[in-house]
Amino acid sequence: MGLLQVPHASTAQAAPTGSRTVDVTIDSMSPPTPSEGDTVTVSGTLINDGRSTITDAKVAMHRGSAIGGRSSIESLSRRTGYLAGADGEAVKGHTEKIDKLEPGVSQPFSLSVPVKDLDLTKDGVYQLGISLSGRSAAAPYGQILGFDRTFLPWQESDSAKKTQLTYMWPLISSTHLTAETDADAQQTPVFRDDDLAAELAPGGRLQQMVSLAKNLPVTFVVDPDLLATVDAMTKSYRVDGPDGPMGKNQAVAKQWLHELEEAAKTHEVVALPFADPDLASLAHHGKGVPSALSHLGPATDLADKTVDTILGVKPRTDFAWPVDGAIDSSIVDVATSAGAHNVITRSDSLREAGGLSYTPTAARPIGGGNTAVVADAQLSRAFEGDMSKAGNTAHAVQEFLAQTEMINLEDPGRQRSVVVAPQRMPTVSQAQAMATALRDLKQSGRWTQPLSLGGAAKAKPDRAATRHVPSGSSYPSSLRRKELPTDAFRQIQGTQDALDDYQVILAHPERVVTPFGNAIMREMSTQWRGNPTGAKAFRHSVRSYLDGLTKKVHLIQKSEATLSGRSATIPVTVQNNLVQGVRDMKLKLTSSQPNRLDAGKTQTITVDGGHSQSFKFDTTANANGRAWVTAQLYTSDGKPYGDPMTFQVNVTEITATVMLVIAGGVLLLVLAGVRIYLQRKRAAGRRAEDGTDGDGTDGDSGTDGDNGGTDGDQPEQPSDPTPDTGSESSDPSGSGEKVDR
């Protein structure tokens, strides 16, 4: 039997050809904004993606024509390969020879050209390219086999009216603290993980953000929850888990806070509402849930207090920053509901519709005393890519510099204010690229000058700039899909309601109100976008922990009780396993048959932490039989607390027949006593008449017990009835228990 060979398609990609044969990557350009007399040096790498060796190769620099506008910069940044008309001829006299370039081999290059040889005739942004030309088996004649381009901003002198540039520098992290605290005097906090330490340590993301910003003209935009979390790390803390170890990163937390405190002295600080709530989710899904928006006001107040306490500076709390600067009318309403009169949006959300030939000033009045601060979308997204590669960073930096110069050149006689709102949590490499661009702008200083975010909000707006807030239908669907759902806000409300009911019973409610209140704010954070599983797990953990604490105050189940008699006391025990005491609670017994058994009056109770205490209810029985009694705890405002406890009471009332028997017995005893008394009186009278000393007897009366006898010879007296001591015993009687009368 022969084998049939089935042909299959090759999975190998075709080798690139023409000016894409070699991957030319510009890794750096120095200086990034050259002046007259400088020499421009471009360095990078060459990789032969073809299948044959390239020989007689050389690297050359190309100076293209001046770029016409911001949109041209953006389109050129996406172009690949060499275009003869647009990229210009190679600058003569300045090449670097490459003997040969083997397939798949990477080789560095560096090429320097004096500015005077680049023939920069006027101020503007020029396209600058690097080409690799040579021969190969596929291209036997010399030609350009690889090309990469960047941007060369050129301006000989300072602008008369420089663009005012505001750069927001976000200090934000994900949620690390739980609602849980240890039961000690210090309330040692419990962290979800210890990952924040890596961000704070030297070389970590947050450490770099602070270190890089020290000498940069930026405005710190801070989530106060991050400050509170790091401050908690400076003291004793524990990491959540089965064997929850104690945290050991106090030193890095203290160092980071110290560096930030020093940097904050010379920078404007804007505080977002505590935990950076997701304003868009609140607007689109939370407004319909009662009390959802009520957290914004306290979050803003807490932000001010937290930053002031930890950093020692008074922050601005009048700015709101929706995710990616995307807004609609409902988001603006929510954002401004807690006193934030400045809403940071982005130019791809509040789009220009008037055909302006220049980039307008960021500030736009939008009614109601509110201002939309419109960040420039292109500048804000300049460093969102993978900045870990030198080529990506170099390109992003040069494009950023080119865009800022082009903004200034659009209308040199009109000074404008431009705001940059980058991604909320830049990586280390992204932060370093951002810092590089800002340092280059600062060093050049020819077309921009720094301005704080507060200053940008007060800048005089352009009359022709759009001020119309878009409707909800224009909100990006890609962002809407990542929002917290309505069910999440219902869960948050449920947790808040449970907390409200719980804290009123506590002797020291502040021990739970603060950690749980902060945790509830964290449940609404923007940091949960893209992580619905994590968000749901966090909400569940907060509620589960609260429910566990609530159940530590409960009623101890009673067995069946027996009530003998018309009245008695029934004890009910309350167990408090909390560290602190509970107060002003109500304990009520309810009889299922009040005509048979009255369970007594409601009692106000107080129980110390770690104790149980019994409370006795005076009950009254009106008839024999069994009755069910339900015990229930209530808060001071009348809400049921915890699960009810039900037990059975067996009423055994004393009957009338028994009472008659007892009464007859008592009467016989009285009559016997009277008879004995009369007999003794008559005997004493006869002795007195006969002069005897009491030796005589009276045959009719029998012996009187005094005849030479002792006390033990006295007639036996009836004893008292034996008392019913069963009610004083704590042991159950039969299948139930008796109760105190």
Distance between CA atoms of residues 150 and 62, nearest Å: 10
Query: Between 686 and 154, where is the model more confident?
Result: 154
Distances, alpha carbon 583 to alpha carbons 504, 557, 632, 732, in Å: 8, 21, 15, 31
Reply yes or no on whether the pLDDT at 352 is more than 80: yes
**Under a CB-based contact definition with an 8 Å cutoff, are residues 275 and 303 in contact?**
no
Reply yes or no on whether the pLDDT at 658 is more than 60: no
Question: What is the model's pLDDT at position 9?
Answer: 40
pLDDT confidence band for 717 (50 / 70 / 90): very low
Distances, alpha carbon 697 to alpha carbons 367, 682, 707, 714, in Å: 124, 11, 9, 16
**Under a CB-based contact definition with an 8 Å cutoff, are residues 619 and 569 in contact?**
yes
Query: Between 707 and 515, where is the model more confident?
Result: 515
Residues in the chain: 741
Reply yes or no on whether the pLDDT at 92 is more than 70: yes
pLDDT confidence band for 706 (50 / 70 / 90): very low
Nearest partner of 234 among 252, 258, 255, 250, judged by Cα: 250
**Under a CB-based contact definition with an 8 Å cutoff, are residues 419 and 378 in contact?**
no
Question: What is the model's pLDDT at position 654?
Answer: 47
Alpha helices by DSSP H, 510-581 = 510-522, 532-550
Q: Which CATH superfamily is domain 163-461 in?
A: Glycoside hydrolase 38, N terminal domain (3.20.110.10)
Question: What is the model's pLDDT at position 215?
Answer: 94
pLDDT confidence band for 543 (50 / 70 / 90): very high
Question: For 60, phi and psi rounded to 5 degrees?
Answer: -135, 160
Q: What's the angle, vertex CA 98, arms to CA 94 and CA 103, rounded to 5?
A: 140
Question: What is the model's pLDDT at position 652?
Answer: 82
- Kindly list the strands in the beta sheet with 189-191, ordered across the sheet, starting from the edge strand earlier in the chain: 177-181, 189-191, 238-239
The 3-state secondary structure of 472-510, one letter per residue: HHHCCHHHHCCCCCHHHHHHHHHHHHHHHHHHCCECCCH
What 3-state class would DSSP assign to 617? strand
Reply yes or no on whether the pLDDT at 455 is more than 70: yes
Query: Between 136 and 131, where is the model more confident?
Result: 131
The 3-state secondary structure of 106-145, one letter per residue: EEEEEEEEEHHHHCCCCCEEEEEEEEEEEECCCCCCCEEE
Question: What is the model's pLDDT at position 88?
Answer: 87
**Under a CB-based contact definition with an 8 Å cutoff, are residues 224 and 175 in contact?**
no
pLDDT confidence band for 685 (50 / 70 / 90): low
Reply yes or no on whether the pLDDT at 656 is more than 70: no
**Under a CB-based contact definition with an 8 Å cutoff, are residues 403 and 382 in contact?**
yes
Distance between CA atoms of residues 146 and 20, nearest Å: 5
Distance between CA atoms of residues 113 and 119, nearest Å: 11
Reply yes or no on whether the pLDDT at 728 is more than 70: no
Give the range among 20-34, 340-354, 677-691 with minimum mean pLDDT.
677-691
Distance between CA atoms of residues 363 and 365, nearest Å: 7
pLDDT digits (tens, 9 = 90+) for 401-441: 999 999 999 999 999 999 999 999 999 999 999 999 999 99
Rounded to an integer, the average pLDDT of 443-465 is 95
pLDDT confidence band for 485 (50 / 70 / 90): very high
Question: What is the model's pLDDT at position 666?
Answer: 60
pLDDT digits (tens, 9 = 90+) for 201-241: 999 999 999 999 999 999 999 999 999 999 999 999 999 98
**Average pLDDT value over all residues in the chain:** 88
Question: For 190, phi and psi rounded to 5 degrees?
Answer: -115, 125
Distance between CA atoms of residues 427 and 432, nearest Å: 9
CB proximity list for 122: less than 8 A, separation 6 or greater: 66
Rounded to an integer, the average pLDDT of 556-562 is 89
**DSSP for 629-663?**
EEEEEE-TTS-EEEEEEEEEEEEEPPPHHHHHHHH
Reply yes or no on whether the pLDDT at 287 is more than 80: yes
Reply yes or no on whether the pLDDT at 453 is more than 60: yes
Question: What is the model's pLDDT at position 121?
Answer: 86
**Under a CB-based contact definition with an 8 Å cutoff, are residues 60 and 97 in contact?**
no
Best CATH choice for the domain 22-154 from the list 3.40.50.800, 3.10.580.10, 2.60.40.10, 1.10.10.10: 2.60.40.10
Q: How far apart are the first and last CA of the chain?
A: 102
Using the CB atoms, write b or e for 522-536: b if 16+ within 10 Å: bbbbbbbbeeeeebb
Distance between CA atoms of residues 386 and 76, nearest Å: 19
Query: Between 398 and 18, where is the model more confident?
Result: 398
Distance between CA atoms of residues 533 and 531, nearest Å: 6
The type of residue at 297 is G
DSSP state of 460: P
Question: What is the model's pLDDT at position 216?
Answer: 97
Strand bridging mode 448-450 / 163-171: parallel
Residue 88, sorted as left (phi over 0), alpha (psi -120 to 50) or beta, turns out to be: left
DSSP state of 715: P
Strand bridging mode 611-621 / 597-598: antiparallel
pLDDT digits (tens, 9 = 90+) for 583-608: 999 999 999 988 888 999 999 999 99
Question: For 189, phi and psi rounded to 5 degrees?
Answer: -75, 155
Q: Which percentage of the chain shows pLDDT scores above 90?
A: 74
pTM listed for this prediction: 0.84
DSSP state of 157: S
Most confident of 355-359, 609-613, 661-665: 609-613
Question: What is the model's pLDDT at position 234?
Answer: 97
Question: What is the model's pLDDT at position 721?
Answer: 34
Distance between CA atoms of residues 226 and 276, nearest Å: 10
pLDDT confidence band for 313 (50 / 70 / 90): very high
**Under a CB-based contact definition with an 8 Å cutoff, are residues 44 and 27 in contact?**
yes
What 3-state class would DSSP assign to 361? coil
Alpha helices by DSSP H, 36-176 = 70-77, 84-87
Rounded to an integer, the average pLDDT of 606-615 is 95
Using the CB atoms, write b or e for 129-143: b if 16+ within 10 Å: bbbbbbbbeebeeee
Question: What is the model's pLDDT at position 184?
Answer: 85
Rounded to an integer, the average pLDDT of 300-313 is 97
Reply yes or no on whether the pLDDT at 261 is more than 80: yes
Question: What is the model's pLDDT at position 323?
Answer: 97
Around Cβ 109, how many Cβ atoms within 10 Å? 20
**Under a CB-based contact definition with an 8 Å cutoff, are residues 132 and 167 in contact?**
no
Q: Classify domain 553-652 at the CATH topology level.
A: Immunoglobulin-like (2.60.40)
**Under a CB-based contact definition with an 8 Å cutoff, are residues 315 and 286 in contact?**
no
Reply yes or no on whether the pLDDT at 2 is more than 50: no
Around Cβ 495, how many Cβ atoms within 10 Å? 23
Name beta bridge partners: 129. 62, 149
